[in-house]
Structure 1
């Protein structure tokens, strides 16, 4: 494994570690599911199905964070977004743990309904068609399907436009069908980042090609049939680590599209008889290290030459590039940087516009209170859940290093101006600005990370270093910027959606 790849993985793991004590102030609007009226008990013995499901029923489609403190939460049935088959309720719901290792949602051993692999059943289910599962997310927790549940899927996750699985482990005690099932039609765009799947017949399953799914920092281990199976979806995979006796990633369908960059694939046992990677359509790979497999890649596309690749893969494309100008047939090999992580501050170091008279969910103008909070000298400024009205310019500057919405919404019109400040990296995250007249402008050379956010009027930036993780909006105008995007959905209907003027994107 190359030094560059090892460094990339280490940086990704270090970034994840910052988020391992995710706690919020009492007035943030985050719902603690262990408190009344829900009363889930993380003692590993009490059945919490009804308690958690009640919250999912009552708080669906509200951009609410349903929070679980560290503990083991035993369940005996599928936890369903919205509770019913009404698809309008299966969106804008975020299940959030305090930490990936500390919060365990565990299925009872030999649980009724989870015993038949021919009729698989998930522990967590976030929705069905049509493609309107906006802003769904599962974050910072572990899903354990227990023992004696061969028909269990860890999670059936469905999100559109903007939604994510982040810092999640899915594991089985002995048997299980699929770890992460993403095979619903019209899936995506969405982001799957910092995911570990341990065990199961299949680790990750994707299907259909309506939109796309972005994966980053994925670990697969101990699958019995295949690590990652793709049947027709367009997937972008960065930093894939697999230790398996089976093929790590298989995309045999004639319509699948795979981009794989930076991977370490270690074959064990029977892996000596199978390839690490399989392709039946379009496949691009760069910087892939393999050991213990018969071949690194077997490619048999319908409309291109078959190929077998031995050893490590520096770069491979199943099809020749289409270009306007003469080229050497290779990619630009642009640098890929991990998204920098801003430390999660103690809630005592947070401040909200409430301290200056702001109030969500009313018709009052919150612009002045918001600006006072931003200028109060605290590293984290937060918006308690609800709607906040803006009617002018809002300047993010000074000591602020995180502006976090707690899944709150902006309404009104104006501009959010990101300016020079004390922190070298600013995080702007977990905010919805759909259906507003609010634009965002970056007027600083420092690094800005936008994450899990929708931007109504897109973004303009000049001379900045920008990262996007799970962001939707348009248009985006970058002037002499450096940009790294993991799941940037520039959804719009008029003019250019992304304009790059003299920068690197």
Structure 2
């Protein structure tokens, strides 16, 4: 037991130092708000804290810092932190926010002490339903907007929270936020309360949770990105340290002590869970509880984790299978994976669990923090005291250059600091600020030194071999400085960049407090034609053997060629929670780079600038690890994209937890292309994939699948993005290309796709279906609730516009229903089988199309119509009372369902842990699912084969004169294969 005793001693020693104040001295900032210290711990400070936060929100810029001095602040009801407000404690001891014992409102359900919101009622961020009190507000408060995908820059740091006894429903913080928000340097003394944090987002560090039912209980962050927790600890939670689902949970150098379970994933849910370099000490139950174990959305990886007295490593809910650890002593888990594992780029992969572990003879060494601490604030020199103005107009270049020459650590209070030349850091220079939106170092458009011919020129240059720190600052090269690089980083392995925002694009605030307008009217360019997209070097360029640690970085400037470029370096680098978005060419690029670990990288492509963006490009590189990589295309995207990752001439490229997705109809065709080895990987959810660089070019021939009688044949090509297939009573295929507003008919005799309708008479077609008489029904994006009927025998005839009628039972008739659905939340079985209020009845009266109020009203979701009969890749006909197979595209599942007389889906039953864009079944009950390739299932739900298609299939239909032709729509091309 010596190993255990030592491990517990280390944890206890760490706990003793946890309340050391990170900012022991007052940080002077003329634009900040300072809370007066309470006269005593018995004073109710709720109103004083709320007033200070409100004061910041009511300034013209609506963002800023509230400084809280040492003291105990009694909180008796929920305090609301508005977007962009940062609450930062200072003083010899950390301030403590205390919920007194038996505070009214914290005994039942859930009650928040602090609530990080998404806005205030009346500030332009209003949402429907604000008249209903938000659950967890004390007292129950209407008008509260939850944190959301547009909630940026909020933070709390160097403040402890304590929950007194008799508050069993109390939660310290609600933190359902988006980019560039964080929590840091905090103790949560939860005691008998419910949890320290409920709902999380983005990044947190140096948090320590003591007691509580849970330390953290959370779900998917508001934008769907990852949550990264670094250098933190949990002890003595009653149920689990972390209870979660779909959090994209990334745990780096964290310790879990004396808890039943470290991470428990909720029943029926998945997650991408990455745990690296952490400790598990004295766990009574399974360290990890895994749900949804047979689905590719479950992606679990542990690496370099040391367990001490952890007899049960993992428990898989569905199979009730247990993966044992060691009953006593310490052991090293070098790797544990549960999910879709691909040994190399040619391996089709298998969903399974693997573990590599070995006992340790010696006690584990204490964890070394992943993040370097800032120098003591007592050593900071305030740039304002040296003469900088930060007024957005005065050139502060000379002041910064002199400060860098004479001082090591420079503190930059809030302000807008105009510079006109490179700030050349010394090897030990530290630049510190505390709010990267309100503290900007920027170039004016047209700065002479950064324009015209010549090599790239840095706004900030960190020199070769340095140990620089840049933290809390916004860097802007604006839109008319073609030579500019915001940060040229050649600093060494001990350097740090954290909480840094590369300004430009979404979420950028101008010096006058107005939001930066980033688009012209049709989102095709900047509002100012002189500010050209994709005309500058990458925002963050790490090169010339640069390295170090980069944490909580947001880089979305559309003017730069990439958010991040790492080139010509073998110096180790570590990246934690980097959001690179909205670039035209690349989000992230590695070229001649090695020995880097990139954890919780998130990319996003917008409709206007991101149609052809390549999120990750890797060339001439080796020994790179990408873990918990999320790549997303926004819902309004319309241009198909080939791949999320392209690799050339590289080896030992490791992907752990790869999540590639879009709620648009144009997600990436492939997750990854390795052009040097001719590898195409279409699976979008992968737990473990390693590109060894030794893969043979020879492709393993696939066994002929059941049900298939011939080879796949290309019938027609040259389309933009075809979908919406329908087969008429004679077996003839019709389909749409919505972008070009075409409806096509495939003529099997001439073997050509004929134009039935085109944009000369635009009707904005989405999906098609036929009634029994052969009338073509067309769902349309046009107007509100538009469904047309067309006699295909006379395609130039006037369209009949069908009118919706209230829904009612139609026993014996045929319903037209989508075969695939997208849900942002994992609520498919609740959100999809819902009665629709309206029916569109076909001209012959035999067929009806159910539709909801959202379709009838033309409701928009981020500017796009998302009703299922438009968003789905195809519709199908099914008689009421019969079985239909439908796909949950977001969760990669296929269900069987029985159709009620009014067209409602009932009796949903999981058919397969696989689901994609298309699904259909033949007359014998065999099921075909399009998910990268076409997977074949027999009526009992057994997978019996895979059909390889040259392009990604997205919609399927069975037709032909004998009803034995499987038509495959694959964006640019139409294919078919004969069925047995």
TM-score bracket, normalised by the shorter chain, equals: 0.7 to 0.9
Q: C-alpha distance in 1, partners of 2:16/2:564?
A: 29
Say whether residues 1:465 and 2:477 are aligned partners: no
**What's the CA shift for 1:308?**
1.7
Deviations 1:421-479 (A, max 9, x none): 9x952210111236835611124446431111111362112111221121111521112
Paired residue for 1:365? 395
Is the Cα contact below 8 Å between 1:478 and 1:503 reproduced in 2?
no
Say whether residues 1:233 and 2:254 are aligned partners: no
**What's the CA shift for 1:22?**
4.1
The 3-state SS of whatever aligns with 1:355 is: coil
Say whether residues 1:160 and 2:185 are aligned partners: no
Paired residue for 1:411? 442
Moved more, 153-162 or 336-345: 336-345
Moved more, 147-156 or 479-488: 479-488
Paired residue for 1:374? 404
Say whether residues 1:278 and 2:293 are aligned partners: no
- Rate the CA distance shift 1:297–1:431 in 2: closer, same or farther, 3 A: same
What are the equivalent positions in structure 2 for 1:222-301 lying under 5 Å apart? 222-252=236-266, 253-267=268-282, 271=284, 274-280=285-291, 281-300=298-317
Say whether residues 1:493 and 2:523 are aligned partners: no
Is the Cα contact below 8 Å between 1:99 and 1:141 reproduced in 2?
no
Say whether residues 1:125 and 2:146 are aligned partners: no
Say whether residues 1:477 and 2:524 are aligned partners: no
Deviations 1:260-294 (A, max 9, x none): 123332336xx2xx322211132111233444555
Q: Whose radius of gyration is greater, 1 or 2?
A: 2
Structure 1 unaligned runs (5+)?
35-39, 83-90
**What's the CA shift for 1:495?**
2.0
Q: Tell me which of 576, 591, 595 is aligned to 1:504.
A: 595
Is the Cα contact below 8 Å between 2:28 and 2:413 reproduced in 1?
no
Say whether residues 1:45 and 2:42 are aligned partners: yes
**What's the CA shift for 1:491?**
2.0
Is the Cα contact below 8 Å between 1:342 and 1:402 reproduced in 2?
no
Paired residue for 2:370? 338
Is the Cα contact below 8 Å between 1:22 and 1:98 reproduced in 2?
yes
RMSD: 3.6
Say whether residues 1:137 and 2:155 are aligned partners: yes
Q: C-alpha distance in 2, partners of 1:248/1:282?
A: 17
How many residues align structurally? 471
**What's the CA shift for 1:330?**
8.8
Q: C-alpha distance in 2, partners of 1:163/1:427?
A: 19
The 3-state SS of whatever aligns with 1:372 is: helix
The 3-state SS of whatever aligns with 1:346 is: helix
Q: C-alpha distance in 1, partners of 2:337/2:241?
A: 21
Is the Cα contact below 8 Å between 2:63 and 2:84 reproduced in 1?
yes
**What's the CA shift for 1:199?**
1.5
Q: C-alpha distance in 2, partners of 1:166/1:485?
A: 18
Paired residue for 2:383? 352
Is the Cα contact below 8 Å between 1:147 and 1:172 reproduced in 2?
no
- Rate the CA distance shift 1:482–1:314 in 2: closer, same or farther, 3 A: closer
The 3-state SS of whatever aligns with 2:52 is: helix
Paired residue for 1:177? 194
Deviations 1:48-98 (A, max 9, x none): 11111001111026442211122111111111013xxxxxxxx21111112
Paired residue for 1:76? 76
Say whether residues 1:449 and 2:496 are aligned partners: yes
Moved more, 447-456 or 100-109: 100-109
- Rate the CA distance shift 1:330–1:504 in 2: closer, same or farther, 3 A: farther
Q: C-alpha distance in 2, partners of 1:24/1:101?
A: 12
Say whether residues 1:194 and 2:206 are aligned partners: yes
Paired residue for 2:56? 59
Paired residue for 2:860? none
The 3-state SS of whatever aligns with 1:55 is: helix
Is the Cα contact below 8 Å between 2:375 and 2:409 reproduced in 1?
no
TM-score, scaled to structure 1: 0.82
Q: C-alpha distance in 1, partners of 2:186/2:421?
A: 39
TM-score, scaled to structure 2: 0.44
What are the equivalent positions in structure 2 for 1:83-94 lying under 5 Å apart? 91-94=83-86
Q: C-alpha distance in 2, partners of 1:9/1:340?
A: 20
Deviations 1:118-142 (A, max 9, x none): 2x11111111143111111111121
The 3-state SS of whatever aligns with 2:550 is: strand
